[in-house]
Structure 1
Amino acid sequence: MSDAAAWDTRYAGGGFAFGEAPNRHLAAQDWRLRPGMRALALGDGEGRNGAWLAGRGLEVTSVDWSAAGLAKAAALAEAREVALRTVVADLVAWDWPVDAFDLVAWIFVHLPPRDRAVVAAGAAAALAPGGLLVLEGFTPAQEGRRSGGPRDPLLLWSAALVREHFAELEVLECLEGTVVLDEGPKHQGPAEVVRAVLRK
């Protein structure tokens, strides 16, 4: 089974694996958002972040390799009466637009090192000048916790990796530590994360 097929299976149920509410770190950036901003939600799955951004008046593109997830994202947006463009694609192979977005939301997207570097370069290029990258990911300290995240340590983030992959961006915030997740059945309880906001 391919990874995309595995996520299709995960998203095939009736509920929302990570809930319908936006990621708290992303929602905390509400004060930085303006209607009409162009936003890209990476690995947006069932659309909780993309639909929320669309509800704030942003023009949102949600990209994920799970067609099942994005079908639910489209339904969520329709139920909220907001516009959401969905694109089924592998971020590693995607034809990234350049200078096209005012915001890129990278929320719990965990990739092998080589793929992560490719996608990070694409995301940075996709930001328009002055655009913001909002990122949250699990760190190696998450090992042993049951609140989510990949088991392979090579897929995990750190503040150092954020600074390395996005060296050309200005760091506005970049913190590692413990948070309490309440994001659907798959993200529950204390978790070790890095949260960052960067600007092109």
Structure 2
Amino acid sequence: MTNLWNERFNTTEYIYGEEPNAFIKEYTFQLENLKKVAAFAEGEGRNAIFLAKSGHDVTTFDYVESGLNKTVQLAEKNNVKVKTVQVDLLEGSVPNEQFDAAIMVFGHFRKEDQRNVFEKILKSVKPGGKIMMELYSEKQLDYRTGGPKKLEMLYKPQDILDWCENYKIVHFFVGEQSRQEGTLHTGLAHVIQLIIEK
């Protein structure tokens, strides 16, 4: 998988575009006064750069070097700075309670690994901080407008609710949203949106 993503991101074009995910953009007010933000599975950096331009101190985590390089280039283009960290979220570690908030947009992991990744993201955020995510639901298979083509790489809403039972759910949505993000996320999609307070 590493080779696939390295190859996918090893282009001059930003395959998911340079603009932030619509959910992150619409709900960025939820991150007000939360200075240090971690962006997990951030790919080419579009969300991280948007948050940096909004005044946040952003650190991105991804395991694909070509994506991290493009994040740095996009930051330079927008006259902001973000810190990049190369890490495999399945096997590597993340800082403990170092961030005020964390985001993940369309982070694709096998079902057997999804909760482990979720727990690592939670671990990185200080008590009182927030976690924001937009993910493809299992129903996305019927839409064919982006994301994995395998059920095991998509998310089940009830699973996410179960993972969040000990936290305050600020926002939870399951349903259709239009996404125009570069060449690979285009059209009506079926997503899960989550904001929780740790």
The TM-score, its normalising length taken from structure 2, stands at 0.95
Contact in 2 for aligned 1:111/1:155 (Cα 8 Å): yes
1:102-181 to 2 correspondences below 5 Å? 102-181=100-179
Partner of 1:27 in structure 2?
A: 25
With over 3 angstroms needed to count, the CA separation of the structure-2 counterparts of 1:47 and 1:84, relative to structure 1, is: same
Using the alignment, how far apart are the partners of 1:102 and 1:34 within structure 2? Answer: 10
Moved more, 137-146 or 38-47: 137-146
Contact 1:135-1:196 within 8 A present in 2 as well:
yes
CA distance in 1, matches of 2:167, 2:16: 29
Q: Sort the Cα spacing of 1:36 and 1:198 in 2 relative to 1 into closer, same or farther, 3 A.
A: closer
| Distance in 2 of aligned mates of 1:169 and 1:98 | 18
- After TM superposition, the structure 1 stretch with the greater mean CA deviation from structure 2, 70-79 or 136-145, is 136-145
Q: Determine helix, strand or coil for the equivalent of 1:161.
A: helix
Q: CA deviation at 1:191?
A: 0.4
- After superposition, give the CA deviation of every residue in 1:28-80 in whole Å (9 maximum; x if it has no partner): 12222336611110111110011111111111110111100110000000111
Of residues 93, 96, 113 in structure 2, which corresponds to 1:95? 93
CA displacement, residues 61-100 of structure 1 (integer Å, 9 cap, x when unaligned): 1011110011000000011111100011101122221111
What's the % identity of the aligned pairs? 28
Q: Indicate the residue corresponding to 2:196 in structure 1.
A: 198
Distance in 2, Cα, partners of 1:36 & 1:124: 15
Structure 1 runs of 4+ with >3 Å offset? none
User: Which amino acid is the alignment partner of residue 195 of structure 1?
Assistant: Q
The residue aligned with 2:36 is 38
Aligned residues: 198
Aligned partners of 2:49, 2:126: CA distance in 1, in Å?
A: 21
Unaligned runs of 5+ in 1: none
C-alpha contact (below 8 Å) 2:37/2:102 kept by paired residues: yes
The TM-score normalised by the length of structure 1 is 0.94
Q: Which SS does the other structure have where 1:143 is aligned?
A: helix
The 8 Å contact of residues 36 and 59 in structure 1, kept in 2 or not, is answered as: no
Amino acid at match of 2:48: G
AA of the residue aligned to 1:167: E
Query: Structure 2: which 5+ residue stretches go unaligned?
Result: none
In the TM superposition, residue 161 of structure 1 has moved relative to its aligned partner by: 1.7
